[in-house]
Amino acid sequence: MITASTFDLVWVTAAVVAAGAATVTLAIGSHRLRVWAPAIHVAATTAILAARTMQIGRLPVFGPFENTIVAGWAASVVIAASCFSAPTAIKDRLARALAPCVPLILVAGAAFSRSKGLMGANERALIGYAHGYVGWFGFGLFLSATVTAVLVLRAEGRKDSDGETLSAHLFRLLCFGFAWLTATMASGALYSFLLFSDWYQWQIVEVLSALIWLGYALLIHAHLLFGWKTRRLAIGVLAAGPLLLATYWIWSFLPITYHYFGGS
Amino acid sequence: MPRTPDDSSGDSVARRSTRTLTRFLANRRTAQYALAGLGLVIAATLLPLQFLGVSGASGAAASSSPAFIIAYAVVALSILACEVPRVSSMLRRLSRGQAVAPKASGSAIACATPLASGEIARVLRAKGYRRLATTDEAVWGVRHAWAPLGDLMFHFGILLVMAASLASATVARHEATRSYPVQSVTSSAGAARDTRDASRVLRGYTLKSVRAFMDGKVITDLRAVVTDTAGRDWSVEPAAPLILGPGKLLLVDGWGYAADVSLSGTESVSTPFRTTVRIPALHERATSHPLFIAAGGATYRVTLTVDDSRLSARTGRPSLHTARLPRIRATVGVREKDGTYRLVERDVTLARSRETTVAGIVLGLTRQRPYAAVRTIESWSILPMLLGLTAITVGLIWRLGIGRRDAVVERRATGWHVSVKADAYRLATAEAERICRALEGR
């Protein structure tokens, strides 16, 4: 176990390191540094995750502040994997565009209380953790997809030859994000049934999840059936952006849902 | 019996209509419009409710509105019409013994390998490619040939989930909740504070004990032990139910305090009385219990209400997260000659430490006992839902995580070239590079 002040120290240090890595990536044109930035972000967010786990005695997943920790960690892992597995031609560009994401998520954590919340009896379930972590990985994938969509549009505007490669990568992210979102909703349905004997409760989070799921399903079908790619696909992904943010973050602010863990 | 011309025309009209409808539903544009339509219905009917603060039950009501049901049904029928015809053709295509030579891809990668076609086939086999075909000029094979079935599995999983949700919301469900006194309450330090016997028979199972573990005022764990007819003990926890049989679950649903409220008459009531009323389980929002008390020639109506503000915003119940005592309020009315009740006092908060007198009736909280809600659920939706969720998960892993790849290595004027036709979710170039590296011995 570590104290709250020790955790705060780890959190601030790791956030500063992550922000520094992002700044260096954006400001300096060194390819080597850019490749290292995602790895530094993974290390920084893992340190925060580990420190929080040691502080509260369980994996963080409940509450707005813990949302930023898990979201930052999942996003850093997804971004690193995305940059690593992307074709060589677009790796550098992806690393640079995605660099600010993780520090921004970590900085958003400063807006929330860092106090340790206790878990109620119903919250002590493996499926609850699975639901949370799978969900944030989905968020990381969609966040990467949204940033990649901007790159696709820029490449199209400049008649860049990498537009097609970026578009293929965007579609790949979209598909994997869709898979993780589906898994999130499936695990959530199971958890909901165990707690309330209702598979789906149509509260704000469920309504928005259904909408974003249908939206991404439409985009995937549009690509597969109607050949939507590059510009159209990118615009579609960007149009879904606000809904994506609302789905994953509204329950950090709105206490009208049982997804809210800001206080009992 | 011979068919008349009328019968035959009627039959063909019906058949034509069915065919037209099936074609319409199987149309890819219909599929897109159906998905968009369902999204619009959700956005128009369910989303505004959230911001009006009437989610939950109202949301459930909106999800059973005609517009929602029609949009839902069109999506389900569209999936069915799209996927069923694909089954036989896909199975036929996938069960072919040998891979069909893919068309040479324009984006083939040049590969400086000295190997002959027979050796190239061996390398491809080592890379997981099967159904290899070899000529002097080309080698081709397929990896994870059956992966496209994941697509079908995913869509049929969605159909199962949609059907199960509908069944769950309509008929195939029986649910019963009972509250049982908690046997012991244990603090985080492990010291037992209270022990009571609470054995009850529950559908052939006997509830042996319910224990609550607390940290401060938060119930951090709740464990029930039930005994079956063979005398075996089974543990039940929130989010870890006991499966009694296919589609049957036993859950520890929650936690709460049951209040004993004492009512007694004072000097101003001509016939003294004393009674205790137990509000058995505080598991519902704003529970109200009207009591009628005849005393001193007058009839009083006492309504006890659980204070809504003490309930969890997340669950609508006081039981799941916090063990703090809910506030109980009393409203007292006295019966007039015309049969109506005249309000004497509204919303008097009862406290444990002091008694409250309203119109000669003394109200007090004598005890608040911890209770656990144990619930049994029988629902035919459980099996299809689990099957559907499994099909969706396996389908997605098969399709996205594995994916089918057709590789062709062909000899061109400039040497061997590798091209890969991957399904939509894989980067064909990366796979071609991987094969090329293996062929070059890197």
Q: What is the pTM of this model?
A: 0.78
Asked whether residue B35 carries a pLDDT value surpassing 60, the answer given is: yes
Residue type, A158: R
Better pLDDT: A127 or B367: A127
Digit-coded pLDDT (tens) for A236-246: 999 999 999 99
Digit-coded pLDDT (tens) for A220-257: 999 988 988 889 999 999 999 999 999 999 888 776 66
Q: Do A210 and B42 touch (CB under 8 A)?
A: yes
Q: Do B427 and A169 touch (CB under 8 A)?
A: yes
Digit-coded pLDDT (tens) for A184-193: 999 998 888 8
Q: How far apart are the CA of B253 and the nearest CA of chain A, in angstroms? A: 6
- Picking from A213, A223, A186, the residue whose alpha carbon sits closest to that of residue B425 is A223
Q: What's the mean per-residue pLDDT of chain A?
A: 87
In the prediction, which pLDDT does B356 show?
83
Q: What number of C-beta contacts closer than 8 Å exist between A and B?
A: 171
Q: Do A197 and B375 touch (CB under 8 A)?
A: yes
Residue B362 · residue B356 · CB < 8 Å: yes
- Picking from A41, A98, A106, the residue whose alpha carbon sits closest to that of residue A67 is A106
Mutate to test the interface with A, among B40, B55, B153 (most CBs of A within 10 A): B55
Minimum Cα–Cα distance from A203: chain B residue: B55
Digit-coded pLDDT (tens) for B187-236: 433 333 333 334 444 667 777 777 777 666 666 677 888 888 888 888 88
Mutate to test the interface with B, among A193, A232, A251 (most CBs of B within 10 A): A193
Q: Do A124 and B424 touch (CB under 8 A)?
A: no
The beta strands (E) that lie in B73-204 are given as 109-111, 130-134, 138-143, 173-181, 184-187, 192-195, 200-202
Range scoring the smallest mean pLDDT among A33-42, A75-84, A106-115, A150-159? A33-42
| Residues near A62 by beta carbon (within 8 Å), at least 6 away in sequence | A117, A119, A123, A132, A261
- Which two structure tokens, joined as six digits, stand for B3? 């068919």
Q: Do A121 and B320 touch (CB under 8 A)?
A: yes
Q: Which residues of A touch B43 (CB under 8 A)?
A: 211
Q: Do A258 and B313 touch (CB under 8 A)?
A: yes
The four Cα atoms B18, B19, B23, B26 give a dihedral, to 10 degrees, of 60
Nearest to A195 among B165, B239, B385 (CB): B239
